[in-house]
């Protein structure tokens, strides 16, 4: 049974529901699937360049509408407005990147052969896809999935998070206004049960999900049952290793700003800070100072000392329980970690040390403004701590000696490793992980190599 409260705008600063949206019925699901299949046939028949021109306009509209888009998600899930504008602009870059490069990425590739003729690898669309997207980056997550697949010629059904209905509709409006043909991109307010039925429908050829491990496991099982391709971007507990630094205060500031981005609600955030013993105490002290200076405020307040609410009261309550459990298991809570005594989702930024290795909390993802710090006695110890996780999304290593940092980064069991920067970022850089962080890649050239028929094409002499 689906006991979700459904699609609604529920402002996390007050917990009040401003608007609700009905899920569509099974008959409308059927109509949408039929329309998408028909639209796919016409869309894939266009040239890659024709599709790219329309996709380019999608990106332009994201940039043009960035202020309105930011306001929508500030109310829906509490994202700071300045970060919402950045997110919309980044979507513009992503759609532009695939419009500019997608036709080349998908071009026929001749391969050497000793047979009498010519052989090629062709990258062709496969059909209608289902995207199941999360609330933490309501536009960016959709852009990563939609941009390459629209250029390829696939058609899309998009189930957004239930607390992001207005941003979901805003994306649909952008697609329509940019000239994406009716039926090629379809926002659908559906239940989890309906999503499962759609995955199993023979007209649907694949599913992409960004979300929790639990959701990923369920979707992967359904996709496997029906022999459908799946791409999963799930949780993360990324290691952020500081081997040495000439400026502990600056290192802590960078680590803190990284952790506080999107109020700590990013899959690839630096959820485990692993710090060399010689700078550990000073680093923790500086983090505590930074956290202590934070005050709750409206998402429209752009002061760096103001923090926004989490996405929902439920998310904040879960994080409070996790922090409380860590303390009960022996960890030290230096500052913060408190849920505001009202109905809002404000959770005071926290710094925790001494989480017991092997405890349940040690292996959990803390999705919010919590800096967890571990002390490393050596480079090998840092690697051991970093890899002692069921996740493997990203990780980074800092050192004044780049070669030393690179040697450690090469040993990280992650899908994305960075040196002397919190993380490489750009539409051209593939995103994805290993272990329980999922499989498949989005963005960059690899982003066009997932939902594609890599067809061998041979022409005899």
Q: What is the 3-state secondary structure (H, E, C) of 418-434?
A: EECCCCCCCCCCCECCE
- Whether residue 133 contacts residue 105, with contact meaning beta carbons closer than 8 Å, is answered with no
Gap between the Cα atoms of 293 and 285, Å rounded: 13
Task: Say yes or no to pLDDT of 2 above 60.
Answer: no
Can you give the pLDDT at residue 103?
A: 98
Q: What is the pLDDT of residue 209?
A: 98
- What is the chain's mean pLDDT, rounded? 97
Does position 1 have pLDDT exceeding 50, yes or no? no
Q: Out of 3-17, 89-103, 298-312, 392-406, pick the least confident.
A: 3-17
pLDDT in the model for residue 134: 98
Q: Can you name the residues that pair with 416 across neighbouring β-strands?
A: 394
Structural element, H or E, at residue 241: strand 239-242
Instruction: Give the pLDDT confidence of 308-358 residue by residue, as tens digits.
Output: 999 999 999 999 999 999 999 999 999 999 999 999 999 999 999 999 998
Question: The tokens of 78 are what?
Answer: 């509490």
pLDDT of 158 above 70: yes
Report residue 185's pLDDT band, with 50, 70 and 90 as the boundaries: very high
Fold adopted by 7-234+436-460: Aldehyde Dehydrogenase; Chain A, domain 1 (3.40.605)
Distance CA 374, CA 255 (A): 13
Q: Which helix (H) or strand (E) holds 32?
A: helix 26-45
pLDDT above 90 for 402: yes
DSSP symbols for 162-187: TT-HHHHHHHHHHHHHHTPPTTTEEE
Distance, in Å, from the CA atom of 271 to the CA atom of 255, rounded to the nearest integer, reads 10
pLDDT of residue 268: 97
Kindly state the average pLDDT of the residues 197-214.
97
Worst-scoring range by mean pLDDT, 159-168, 274-283, 306-315, 356-365? 356-365
Residue 360, burial from CB neighbour count under 10 angstroms (0-12, 13-18, 19+): exposed
pTM: 0.97
For the annotated catalytic residues, the residue numbers are 233, 267
Q: How far apart are CA 280 and CA 276, in angstroms?
A: 6
CB neighbour list of residue 190: distance below 8 Å, 6 or more residues apart: 23, 24, 29, 159, 198
Q: What are phi and psi of 339, to 5 degrees?
A: -85, 130
Per-residue confidence (pLDDT) for residue 4, from 0 to 100: 63
Sequence-separated (6 or more) residues with CB below 8 Å from residue 154: 40, 44, 125, 126, 127, 128, 129, 205, 451
Q: DSSP per residue over 382-425, as a string? A: HHHHHHSSSEESEEEEE-SSHHHHHHHHTT--SSEEEESSS---
CATH of domain 239-427: 3.40.309.10
Identify the CA nearest to 255 among candidates 290, 303, 294, 279: 290
Distance of alpha carbon 251 from alpha carbon 373, whole angstroms: 13
Q: Which token pair is 357?
A: 């290795």
Once rounded to an integer, what is the mean pLDDT over residues 255-266? 98
Residue 361: alpha-carbon gap to chain centroid: 22
Instruction: Output the pLDDT for position 5.
Output: 81
Domain boundaries defined on the chain: 7-234+436-460, 239-427
């Amino acid at each position: 049974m689906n006991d979700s409260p459904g699609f609604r705008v529920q402002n996390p600063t007050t917990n009040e529901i401003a608007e609700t949206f009905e899920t569509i019925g099974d008959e409308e699901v059927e109509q949408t699937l039929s329309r998408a299949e028909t639209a796919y046939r016409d869309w894939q028949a266009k040239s890659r360049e024709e599709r790219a021109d329309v996709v380019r306009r999608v990106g332009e509209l994201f940039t043009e509408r960035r202020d309105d888009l930011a306001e929508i998600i500030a109310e829906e899930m509490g994202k700071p407005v300045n970060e919402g504008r950045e997110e919309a602009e980044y979507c513009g870059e992503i759609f532009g990147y695939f419009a500019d490069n997608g036709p080349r990425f998908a071009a026929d590739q001749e391969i050497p052969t000793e047979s009498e003729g010519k052989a090629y690898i062709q990258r062709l669309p496969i059909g209608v896809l289902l995207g199941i997207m999360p609330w933490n980056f309501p536009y960016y997550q959709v852009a990563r999935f939609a941009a390459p697949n629209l250029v390829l010629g696939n058609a899309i059904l998009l189930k957004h998070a239930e607390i992001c209905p207005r941003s979901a509709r805003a994306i649909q409006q952008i697609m329509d206004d940019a000239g994406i043909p009716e039926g090629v991109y379809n926002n659908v307010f559906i239940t989890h049960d309906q999503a499962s039925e759609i995955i199993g429908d023979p007209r649907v050829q694949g599913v992409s999900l960004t979300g929790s491990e639990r959701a990923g496991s369920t979707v992967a099982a359904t996709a496997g049952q029906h022999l459908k391709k799946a791409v999963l971007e799930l949780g993360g507990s990324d290691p952020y290793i500081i081997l040495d630094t000439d400026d502990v205060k600056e290192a802590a500031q960078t680590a803190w700003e990284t952790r506080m981005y999107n109020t700590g609600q990013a899959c690839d955030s630096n959820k485990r800070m692993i710090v060399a013993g010689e700078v550990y105490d000073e680093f923790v002290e500086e983090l505590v100072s930074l956290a202590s200076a934070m005050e709750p405020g409206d998402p429209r307040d752009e002061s760096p000392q103001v923090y926004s609410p989490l996405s929902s009261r439920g998310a904040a309550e879960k994080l409070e329980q996790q922090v409380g459990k860590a303390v009960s298991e022996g960890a030290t809570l230096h500052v913060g970690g408190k849920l505001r005594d009202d109905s809002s989702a404000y959770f005071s930024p926290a710094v925790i040390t001494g989480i017991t290795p092997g405890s349940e909390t040690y292996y959990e993802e803390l999705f919010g403004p919590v800096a967890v710090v571990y002390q490393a006695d050596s480079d090998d110890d840092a690697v051991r701590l970093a890899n002692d996780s069921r996740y493997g999304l990203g990780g980074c290593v800092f050192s004044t000696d780049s070669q030393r940092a690179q040697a450690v980064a090469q040993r990280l069991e992650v899908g994305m490793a960075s040196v002397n920067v919190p993380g490489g970022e750009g539409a051209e850089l593939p995103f994805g992980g290993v272990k329980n962080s999922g499989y498949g890649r989005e963005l960059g050239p690899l982003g066009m190599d997932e939902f594609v028929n890599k067809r061998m094409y041979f022409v005899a002499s």
